Amino acid sequence: RLYFTQIGIGTPAKSYYVQVDTGSDILWVNCVSCDTCPRKSGLGIELTLYDPSGSSSGTGVTCGQEFCVATHGGVLPSCVPAAPCQYSISYGDGSSTTGFFVTDFLQYNQVSGNSQTSLANTSITFGCGAKIGGDLGSSSQALDGILGFGQSNSSMLSQLAAAGKVRKVFAHCLDTINGGGIFAIGDVVQPKVSTTPLVPGMPHYNVNLEAIDVGGVKLQLPTNIFGIEESKGTIIDSGTTLAYLPGVVYNAIMSKVFAQYGDMPLKNDQDFQCFRYSGSVDDGFPIITFHFEGGLPLNIHPHDYLFQNGELYCMGFQTGGLQTKDGKDMVLLGDLAFSNRLVLYDLENQVIGWTDYNCSSSIKIKDDKTGSIYTVNAHDISSGWRFQWHKPLFVLLVTALCSYTMF
């Protein structure tokens, strides 16, 4: 599935559809100078190219400005006075974007009461995409850009926090039953979640994975297979659809999952292991449980890790080498593992947690400035799903998420 939301940028504000991605930091949208950017989308949405000169509040960022120096870890060798601050991002699936940074107003609706909002805006710095590569250039699932929710100071979350607008706490609830979901910046006070510590000093949302059970039986795996040293560890990433595992872990899981179906032929379909099966997969296959530091479990049911592809069921787990060569020894858990759960990222306390949840129901959010607690109902945010959202919201911030099935 592809999860995206709608934001407003510029003066006057224009709407942009962006993928929500916790695995990257930068917010960027395609710009009018981009010749390779798609003009139409198979998602049924209208694409908009950002024009810095078309916004009265838009300004360029030069390579000598503080934001650029901090983002690149110093002044770029090629920097000359008044030269634009350039960026280049490559994603794990081989797609990429390059361009330059600009500063403009982000427009959003802030919660002011139960299911009530008021208009607000904040100046933020983001990427103006001049060139894209890989699947980002495909019109079938084309969007205007990506909204990175990583931990760096360049992320939109960090910029909003630095401006005193929010605390560095957010949550998402991705609904695979009715579609869409909720994305919230701010303290979620209901539902309550148990948490596990984030690994300090890591660029992504890394956690300590301690063990894996299949059907209640612990897998016997090499010592330190889940170590946190370079090119290892466990990352949680909403911008990734599937789950990727080290080869030895993948093979052990596959062996246990299909243990009672020794004679079942598996078909390799575009790197997915697929098979024919009639009946309920939840009745015929085991639950896979990941155990994290502090005793936090993550139960992944068969209907989560097996997806239908025509007449076949396919395994949603893959070996890490298929996602990126550098990630072959890592565990990367995407939406497959966290759908229909409220996932909380508390960067103030450096923990992350989750709980099973009906993402079409309500959550409660606390306003840090007033102490008031507001109820936000998923169906109040929007009257539809997939891509027919009528109220694109950031609510403390809370936004409706659109979803599109990619399989």
Going from the C-alpha of 404 to that of each of 27, 176, 303, the distances in angstroms are 20, 10, 17
> Is 367 an active-site residue?
no
Q: State the Cα angle at 349 between 224 and 320, rounded to 5°.
A: 35
The residue behind tokens 């502090």 is 294
Asked if 68 contacts 56 with a C-beta cutoff of 8 angstroms, the reply is no
> Is 21 an active-site residue?
yes
Asked if 111 contacts 365 with a C-beta cutoff of 8 angstroms, the reply is yes
Q: What whole-number distance in Å separates Cα of residue 82 and Cα of residue 68?
A: 12
Which of these, 250, 230, 232, lies nearest to 242 by C-alpha position? 250
The residue behind tokens 């466990």 is 234
Catalytic residue among 25, 144, 175, 237: 237
Whether a cis peptide bond, with omega within 30° of 0, leads into 27 is no
- Would you state the structure tokens that stand for residue 392, as one six-digit string? 């694109």
Going from the C-alpha of 12 to that of each of 9, 97, 185, 198, the distances in angstroms are 8, 25, 24, 39
Neighbours of 382 (CB within 10 A): 20
Q: Is the dihedral of CA 93, 95, 97, 98 positive or negative?
A: positive
What are the beta bridge partners of residue 344?
171, 353
Q: What whole-number distance in Å separates Cα of residue 29 and Cα of residue 50?
A: 7
Going from the C-alpha of 123 to that of each of 105, 152, 164, the distances in angstroms are 4, 17, 12
Run of H or E including 69? helix 66-72
SS3 of 252, please? helix
Give catalytic residue positions: 21, 237
